[in-house]
Amino acid sequence: MCGIVGYVGKQSAVPILIESLKRLEYRGYDSAGITVLNELLETYKTVGKIADLEMVLPEEIIANVGIGHTRWATHGKPETRNAHPHVSSGVSVVHNGIIENYLKLKENLIELGYVFESDTDTEVIAHLLNYKMHNGAKKTDLLTAIRETTRELEGSYAIAALCSDEPGSLVFARKDSPLVIGIGENEYYAASDVTAFLKHTKNVIYVDDYEIGAVRPDCIEIFDPQGNLLSKDTHIVEWDLEAAEKAGYEHFMLKEIHEQPTSIQKTFAGKLLELEGTVKMDELYLTPEQIKQLRRATIIACGTSWNAGILGKYLFEKLTGIHTDIETASEFRYGNPVLCGEELTIAITQSGETADTLAAVRSSKSYGCRAIAITNVVGSTITRESDSVVYTRAGPEIGVAATKTFTTQLITLYMLAIYLGRGRGVLTAEDSKNLIVNIKRLPGQIQKILNRKKKIKECAEQFADKRDYFFIGRYLNFPIALEGALKLKEISYIHAEGYAAGELKHGPLALITEDTPVVAIATKGHTYDKILSNIKEVKARNATVIAVANDDDTEIEKYADVVLRIPSSHEMTSPVLSSVVLQLLAYYTALAKDCSIDKPRNLAKSVTVE
């Protein structure tokens, strides 16, 4: 959620910090601030946008070391006094995460004479560091202080800190919250996300849980909890800054919708073996015997990834014969799950840093389950927590509303289902070939939808003044209805609900009026006649029906008021196409309402705290 940046080197720190914070705006925030260190600490912070922060900065600040932060309020309201960095007599701290025992720590520090200026949990870190450095039997350095401080912290944290006694140094620590170090020439960067410093370097070191370290212009040191110096691998980021820019589009979301033909192509490139009727999955560490013995799988995810997981459940049960459960990651650990070591856990997280999903994976692995991660971010925490990793190849996604990461997750689930289905002898080579051919057609079919998006835009503008929307679908289209409703509500602020269409008569029909548009995903398949019946139900209540239907459907216009078309396709792959239509419907609705599309209110791109 929050964004951390830091810089140590020879350049002027302020422009780098401000630029880096702007590149992390997509994570969501309500206040921002920086601390720079020359001979003394200078801290500037404010509620609002980074542009507001720039207004309170002096014209010239001379410093080569600094830290910065964008805050999304958890403890304490969005007020300047609660904005980061937090300072304690020569120590300045930025923090992402939640310190669960902060009240106890705060009480102890107040007894020691420390005065708190904010309502945040983070301020206890600043005071603890100060206490560790100056009030022990002998004074310690900042690195020692942060090691001792983190031993007292319960919860999650990524921390960057400065001390006026150590003008050329920045220290850091991490547990359950992302932190990455960028390596330049005699300079180092720290951030929650490589996007922050990608303009300056592609060489990165990923900091792991419980590690602490320090960077100075000429060196980096990283230690384990016992104080042992570690030798960490340097990774090279594959994508460049241009991939994270708008490239002429009005919004990142629209750009990322249009990137889906390419991102899907990259995700399945080299994996779909049409002639053999199978999928290449060398990254899965499962033996043929283990695949045949699988009896149950649990898909764990949050938000959009959870919607993808529901489709994955249907795919797995149909194509592999494996009983599959779908669990909301935030609830998984609290429900006393019944698991055994012969089961498979599939964790879906676009960032690889979703706190609830990570915690759920750790819980499942404690039962001995094998874990497969589906993620878009190389080097993210989930890749180190799982037995196998399957990467989506969506590239950087800046818009808060997931688009291309969702469809590439779907493609990955199709491929995984085919691979396991063939390995278990449940899916025939002929059926597999047919499905593979239709997956390969998806990029071109999506491009056709994008080429005729004008009709979707007109539809969005027609109903942009409505207060409520319903989305309905059956079987494979049910999770797409959920995702369509989620997209609309998160960026247009219109109340929207997604339902399994058969559930309408169990209560939701009471809310249907002539002012309630109902989006029905009515693509061809074995539930087509059923969805037509559901359309008739809502039409009988005077609702306006917007149908998503195949190009070759000549009947649908008898039932629906507006028809948004997708290319005719295989029943199994049509949900991917329908999701693109609903992404565009949400985008153009939000555009008509002049909403903040890439940074919707109250939301963050990566939910890195529970």
Confidence tier at 59 by pLDDT (50, 70, 90): confident
pLDDT at 253 over 70: yes
Residue 471 forms part of a structural domain:
yes
Backbone dihedral angles phi then psi of residue 397, each to the nearest 5 degrees: -120, 115
Same domain, 231 and 256: no
136: domain CATH number is 3.60.20.10
**Residue 365 lies in domain:** 247-445
Pairing of strands 323-328, 296-301: parallel
Q: What is the mean pLDDT of residues 119-145?
A: 88
Q: Tell me whether residue 335 is in a domain.
A: yes
Q: How many domains does the chain have?
A: 3
Q: Are residues 346 and 494 in the same domain?
A: no
Average pLDDT, the chain: 89
> 211 and 255 in one domain?
no
Q: Which pTM value belongs to this model? A: 0.75
Q: What angle do CA 146, 147, 149 make, to 5 degrees?
A: 60
Tell me, what CATH number does 471's domain have? 3.40.50.10490
Assigned domain for 35 exists:
yes
Mean pLDDT of 63-67: 95
How sure is the predictor about 485, in pLDDT bands with cuts at 50, 70 and 90?
Answer: very high
Check whether residue 466 and residue 385 sit in a common domain.
no
Residue type, 235: H
pLDDT (0 to 100) of residue 443: 92
How would residue 161 be classed by pLDDT, with cut points 50, 70 and 90?
A: very high
324/430 same-domain check: yes
Q: pLDDT digits over 432-463, tens only?
A: 999 999 999 999 999 999 999 999 999 999 99
pLDDT at 308: 96
Q: What is the mean pLDDT of residues 323-327?
A: 91
| pLDDT classification of 314: cutoffs 50, 70, 90 | very high
User: Quick check: is 489 in a domain?
Assistant: yes
C-alpha distance from residue 354 to each of 118, 278, 307, 348 (Å) = 27, 31, 15, 9
Residue 422 shares a structural domain with residue 475: no
Q: Work out the average pLDDT over 253-277.
A: 91
Long-range Cβ pairs for the range 247-251 (8 Å, 24+): 250/591, 251/399, 251/587, 251/591, 251/597, 251/598
Same domain, 440 and 457: no
**Which among 217, 237, 257 is the end of a domain?**
237
494 and 478, same structural domain? yes
pLDDT of residue 310: 96
- Whether the per-residue pLDDT at 413 is higher than 80: the answer is yes
Instruction: State the DSSP H helix or E strand holding residue 179, giving kind and residue range, or none if neither.
Output: none
pLDDT band at 511 (very low <50, low <70, confident <90, very high): confident
In a domain, 585, yes or no: yes
| Least confident span in 121-125, 281-285, 402-406 | 281-285
- pLDDT band at residue 113 using 50, 70 and 90 as cut-offs: very high
155 or 307, which is more confident: 307
Same domain for 386 and 416, yes or no, is yes
Answer whether residue 342 shows pLDDT above 80. no
Q: Are residues 205 and 62 in the same domain?
A: yes
Instruction: Give, in order, the Cα–Cα distances in Å from 359 to each of 102, 301, 336.
Output: 21, 11, 14
**The pLDDT of residue 287 is above 80:** yes
Candidates 244, 172, 217; CA nearest to 22 is: 244
Assess contact for 136 and 174: CB atoms under 8 A: no
Q: State residue 606's pLDDT score.
A: 56
Peptide bond into 58 cis (omega under 30): no
- CA-to-CA separations, 368 to 341, 342, 424, in angstroms, rounded: 4, 8, 22
Q: What percent of the chain has pLDDT over 70?
A: 95
Q: Which residue has the higher pLDDT, 584 or 239?
A: 584
pLDDT value at 27 more than 70: no
318 shares a domain with 199: no
Confidence of residue 6 (pLDDT cuts 50, 70, 90): very high
pLDDT above 90: residue 535: no
89 and 217 assigned to the same domain: yes
Task: Pinpoint the alpha helices (H) of 209-333.
Answer: 252-258, 260-268, 288-293, 303-319, 329-332
Is 379's pLDDT higher than 90? Answer: no
Q: Has residue 547 been placed in a domain?
A: yes
In this structure, of 91-95, 223-227, 511-515, 548-552, the range with the lowest mean pLDDT score is 511-515
Residue 279 parent element (H or E): strand 278-279
Domain final position from 397, 416, 445:
445
Whether 299 contacts 271, CB under 8 Å: no
82 near 69, Cβ under 8 Å? no
Residues 6+ apart with CB under 8 A from 24: 3, 5, 70, 191, 192, 193, 195, 196
**Model pLDDT, residue 507:** 77
Domain boundary among 404, 429, 445: 445
Which residues are annotated as catalytic? 2, 605
Whether residue 109 is contained in a domain is answered as yes
Q: Establish if 80 belongs to a structural domain.
A: yes
Residue 391, pLDDT above cutoff 70: yes
pLDDT of residue 16: 95
